[in-house]
Amino acid sequence: MNVTVKLFATLRKGRFDIRELELPEGTRTIDAIGMLSIPDSEVALIFINNLHAGLDTVLERGDTLALFPPVGGG
């Protein structure tokens, strides 16, 4: 199945901004994060199709997965 992955802020460093990925049916967000070699501890926010999601959410064909690192500042 085809899924669009968007990385934000520091997760982009040395990786990519937006990429289409071909993933097996039943892939969870934690699985996709692992396939991208991103430690799950570096991902603070997960959105699928602009809705908040968790690590165990199953991705569907055509989904857009957006990953954000922890945000700092003040």
Q: Are 43 and 68 in contact (CB under 8 A)?
A: yes
Domain that holds residue 18: 2-68
pLDDT computed for residue 50 by the predictor: 97
pLDDT computed for residue 72 by the predictor: 66
Q: Are 31 and 56 in contact (CB under 8 A)?
A: no
How many domains is the chain built from? 1
Domain membership of residue 73 (yes or no) is no
Domain membership of residue 74 (yes or no) is no
Domain membership of residue 49 (yes or no) is yes
Q: DSSP letter string over the chain?
A: -EEEEEE-GGGGTTS-SEEEEE--TT-BHHHHHHHTT--GGG--EEEETTEE--TTPBP-TT-EEEEE------
CATH number at 49 reads 3.10.20.30
Single pTM value for the model = 0.93
Tens digit of each residue's pLDDT, the chain (74 residues): 999 999 999 999 999 999 999 999 999 999 999 999 999 899 999 999 999 999 999 999 999 999 999 986 55
